[in-house]
A and B are shown apart, each in its own frame.
Chain A
């Protein structure tokens, strides 16, 4: 979109503003939509995403809640079952664990358990990821856990287009959709078409085409991976970078087509390595493209440690450009 729009139709915007525009647009388009969560109204959102929306839409539709993650997430489930289109904001993925009962035992099960009589068209947004030195109770990346659960969809917008465009598509979906916003992306700015609209939420995107190796990633790690690809290019390695966008369902077709072409793959995932989404993707590659591979599938994940506070340790715990480039070179036998 950005490429085709005329110069004056492009705006400079942050990821945070793009999410806010998406919420504002949804509230305007559909009276059934409302935003509910801790400090979304008067405070403006813990990451300032919803700043200004209270004044525009009022306290009914920008609904501050008490500190009751399970209570208001469950209320979102109930309201969705009764025909509303709630957006529930959970401050971070760590706090979402207090609402896990409602997400897993209610939202994800009710359509099936009721024999298709009731659906839960609910969107739950939350922040995820490390990098702000918030230590071991505010920095984890548990979206891979959520991607384990049938009955929900899991999205990870990494670009401005997706931050702006995924929400509306998610709201139109008849089933619960979780949207994970990496905390390091909120301040990212860039150019976006002023008339940017909704985007599909089913397909992965090739963010950088290449021939030599497939680097498969999502969310905050996308930008590190693209940077690693640029570094690799200086060494004559032409990496393809795939942004998963949707973590559940996974777009196997795009992943496998890329691996069939490059014959090598490294997965970059800010989740812990053991039992990770990266493990799932690696296994799918093995199942579907084993005979195409020229090298073992590699992984760059977080170290098996609660995210520490000091910056040097925090950075050492999560994927970075150097680790990604090294893993790619190892897969190419150029370590």
Chain B
């Protein structure tokens, strides 16, 4: 991204780009849900529906050398970071051409080329890794930043507290991004945390923090810009809480007994895609044709990705035990 790092860029093309990236994630995942019911995608599938503004607001601001650590709800992060839709889709199918050779699946997208250090399916498990990645960067006098995404459920884990303390103590360039969607599976924030103002917790570790409306991609981007700028200046960690909401079930196995439909509907109206589109329309910054074109382009990319995943080959069973250890001379 060009332009002054500390100023939000409200140009029309930029806004359309943000919209397109969010739609791209949304439609990709809609397709994934469909493929799940067709049993093309198996296992756990956690959708990011409603939370797209977070990944889209933060990740494009990173440089190539910056590093990303994410959770099992990471399809959006992977796509925005530059993992091709084809290899992500093939991974969900479990095919060899997937970004993790099919061995990871939906929850474990990895990509060395884009410094994408994985979907981690242990709640809180990615935070210590992020600290270590940043420590390595610091010890080798590199200038990169490590961004670590996690849900508010992770805040109750010991690894969260250990990692914040280590990052602050050792002054490591980590951007902690808490995607607070108010529920950890069926457990509402209010019944799991004594202090529900998550970003306030960062103060215990003397980490600068900010809370932002995670449904507003422009606000997320502006906050992330400030955060990254601060980290680049100080070399110290920063904590960004994005208040958001997940519209769909936690994963595909979830009867959603813990919240009522009216609540979900209320949040849907505040959805990040809805919101940006309405704003662009109100300000005459988007033409219906342009929206149609975005949908068509994304639709074509998805169709290609599905075709690729369908045609991709399976890892031969003879290779089952490969890649447990490094292979000499291979």
Contacts and interface: CB of A to CB of B under 8 A. Distances in A.
Interface of A: 34, 60, 65-66, 68, 70-84, 86, 101-102, 105-106, 110-119, 150-151, 153, 173-175
Interface in B279-330: 321-327
Which of the listed residues B98, B135, B321 has the most CB atoms from chain A within 10 Å of its own CB? B135
B117 A81 contact: yes
Contact of B129 (A34, A65, A78, A111): A78
Contacts of A79: 132-133, 135-136, 139
Contacts of A65: 166
Contact of A112 (B103, B122, B130): B103
A292 B99 CA distance: 48
A113 B108 CA distance: 7
A83 B103 CA distance: 23
B100 A71 contact: no
B128 A70 contact: yes
Nearest to A173: B326
Nearest to A249: B325
Interface of B is mostly: mixed
Contacts of A175: 325-326
B310 to A, nearest CB: 19
Contacts of A113: 100, 103-104, 108, 110, 118
Nearest to A107: B129
B137 A82 contact: yes
Contact of B325 (A70, A71, A115, A151): A151
Contacts of B117: 78, 81, 118
Interface residues of B, number: 44
Contacts of B135: 75, 78-79, 84
Contact of B100 (A106, A114, A150): A114
A66 B67 CA distance: 25
A72 B122 contact: no
B125 interface: yes
B162 A117 contact: no
Contact of A115 (B104, B131, B140): B104
Contacts of A119: 326
Interface in B165-187: 165-166, 169
Given A75-B131, A79-B132, A115 B326 contact: no
A115 B103 contact: yes
Given A75-B128, A78-B117, 20 more contacts: A34-B139, A60-B139, A66-B162, A68-B162, A71-B166, A74-B129, A74-B131, A77-B132, A78-B133, A79-B132, A79-B139, A80-B136, A82-B133, A105-B125, A110-B118, A112-B103, A113-B108, A116-B322, A118-B118, A119-B326
